[in-house]
Amino acid sequence: MVLRIVSLNAWGGSLHAPLMDYLADVDADVICLQEVARTPSSAQDWLTYRDHDVALQQRANLFDEIRAALPGHDGFFAPTARGDLFDGDRAIPSEFGLATFARTSLTVIAQAQDFVHGAFSPDGWGPHPRARNAHCLRLFNHEDGFSITIAQMHGLRDVAGKGDTPARDTQTQALVELIGRIWHGDERLVVCGDFNVLPDSRMFGALGELGLTDLITSRGHTDTRTSYYQKPGRFADYMLVTPDVEVIRFDAVAEPEVSDHRALLLEMR
């Protein structure tokens, strides 16, 4: 059995229709998403995130919409904060964070989620750089008889850029500790997400000590962004694997464009 894993910063569902089509059509066994909202108290399709002069449209209940579109998957939501989105001038509390979907034929035998930077903010989005978390699932593949741990993270955003900082070093240490809670060390491990770091980051050295190799840089990919991203610096998203992962196919998907980030697609045994 070839396992298909997708990692994607969903951009709050800004490109909702193509995003939903892609997630249904790609037929992935595990989908790791960053920047997903959940607003149970609102029936609106769209709400607005505001931060000073920034206003971004957010799909209000993207997590629940994706869960409904993937009835053969279990869904897990890991919020980083609960703050206000806006319907006109009306503020509506919403949660924002990571979403992971795993096909129900894969048994979840362990999981862990925790913060790798900051802590949960229940009364607003919090100060910059805002809290970040990670989610790890240990799954059993019955068809082939092996366990695999898959971890995803949305790395902290720093207005000064994506270079190494003490906060990012601490974030990496927290991610390694979180992975160690459920990964047994002698089985397949995949780590992915929007890390918000550069390819030469110290983070990759630390993850390399777990035996992980990044598939973006090691396979010559130079862009994890789409045409919707207009700023310089085209690296943000990464996927790393241990040597026991047999990579059948890996791509930073250029088409279709479903976000300002490219989807990372791994087919493996």
**CATH value at residue 98:** 3.60.10.10
Residue 232: per-residue pLDDT: 87
Residue 1: per-residue pLDDT: 87
pLDDT tens, per residue, the chain with 269 residues: 899 999 999 999 999 999 999 999 999 999 999 999 999 999 999 999 998 888 999 999 999 999 999 999 999 999 999 999 999 999 999 999 999 999 999 999 999 999 999 999 999 999 899 999 999 999 999 999 999 999 999 999 998 999 999 999 999 999 999 999 999 999 999 999 999 999 999 999 999 999 999 999 999 999 999 999 998 889 999 999 999 999 999 999 999 999 999 999 999 99
Whose CA is closest to 5, among 209, 175, 247, 217?
247
Residue 146: per-residue pLDDT: 97
Whose CA is closest to 13, among 75, 63, 59?
59
Look up the domain containing 81 and give its range. Answer: 3-268
Q: Which residue type occupies 101?
A: F
Residue 40 DSSP label: T
Whose CA is closest to 70, among 104, 106, 33?
104
Rounded Cα gap, residues 218 and 231, in angstroms: 24
Q: Could you give phi then psi for residue 151, rounded to 5 degrees?
A: -120, 140
The tens digit of pLDDT for each residue in 82-104 reads 999 999 999 999 999 999 999 99
Q: Which residue type occupies 221?
A: H
Count of domains in the chain? 1
Dihedral angle, C-alpha 126, 127, 128, 131, nearest 10 °? -40
Whose CA is closest to 135, among 84, 92, 74, 91?
74
Residue 52: per-residue pLDDT: 83
List C-alpha distances in Å: 151 to 91, 154, 231: 33, 11, 28
Full-model pTM: 0.97
130 token code pair: 């805002």
CB 248 within 8 A of CB 267: yes
